[in-house]
Amino acid sequence: MRILIVEDEPTLSRQLRRSLESAGYAVDAADNGRDALHLGHEEIYDAIVLDLGLPQLDGLSVLKRWRAGGRGMPVLILTARAEWHERVAGIDAGADDYLIKPFHIEELLARLRALIRRAAGQAANELVCGPLRLDPRSARAHLDGQPLTLTSHEFRVLAFLMHRRGQVVSRSELSEHIYSHDSERDSNTIEVFVGRLRKKLPPDMIETLRGLGYRLRDPA
């Protein structure tokens, strides 16, 4: 899953990036409103963490322009502005959640997981597909109760397929969701990651639809 952090305070931005990457996310970052506006329009994100007090263009204006342009990704506003009317303005502008600074990183991660679950139509904390269980909180997966050993990219591919289980996901869509903006993307490597996952999962659990992509399904 891929996250955009929009925060102009360098230390906080680095801390957020490290924490999100440790949790298994691909992460991009912007430190001003104009760059954030461009990335939010041009790139694909599963969620965005957006500060309001940004240089060049304030966060509320960025959010309004994303929504006006039809961008529907979940947005978590992160700000030091605690007044209730500012929270109302953020929600009315299209924010999905609001977190006041200072905050605990565990709460931010929990809120992001909830936003991503809701966007995918999931209610439970844990993702389940037949004998396969994936816990986004711990970035771990289990098959028949036994832990799966996964690389970071294998986990990202599996997590995205789990969020979209039963749906067809193209290679380009997977590539957009598991790599950060500054990574060199090669959709051919998606085949490598899927091939490795197939060796660790029951036969035919990841189905290939020629010319379309992949679908994760319950082997039962």
Q: Confirm if 99 and 78 have CB atoms less than 8 A apart.
A: yes
Confidence band (pLDDT; 50, 70, 90) for 186?
Answer: low
**Number of domains present in the structure of the chain:** 2
| 89 and 163 share one domain | no
For the stretch 110-155, pLDDT in tens is: 999 999 988 877 767 788 999 999 998 888 999 999 999 999 889 9
Q: Residue 201 belongs to what domain range? A: 127-216
Q: Are 153 and 194 in contact (CB under 8 A)?
A: no
Helix axes 59-68, 33-42, angle to 10 degrees: 20
Domain boundary among 63, 90, 119: 119
pLDDT, tens digit (0-9, with 9 covering 90-100), for 33-42: 999 999 999 9
Looking at residue 88, its pLDDT comes to 84
- Determine the Cα–Cα distance for residues 214 and 78; give it in Å rounded to an integer: 35
pTM of the model: 0.79
How far is it, in rounded angstroms, from Cα 133 to Cα 141? 6
The C-alpha atoms of residue 103 and residue 139 are separated, in whole angstroms, by 21
- Residue after which a domain boundary falls, among 95, 119, 143: 119
pLDDT of residue 141: 94
Q: Which of 90, 119, 148 is the last residue of a domain?
A: 119
Angle at which helix 152-163 crosses helix 171-178, to 10 degrees, equals 120
- Per-chain mean pLDDT for the chain: 90
**How far, in whole angstroms, is CA 190 from its chain's centroid?**
17
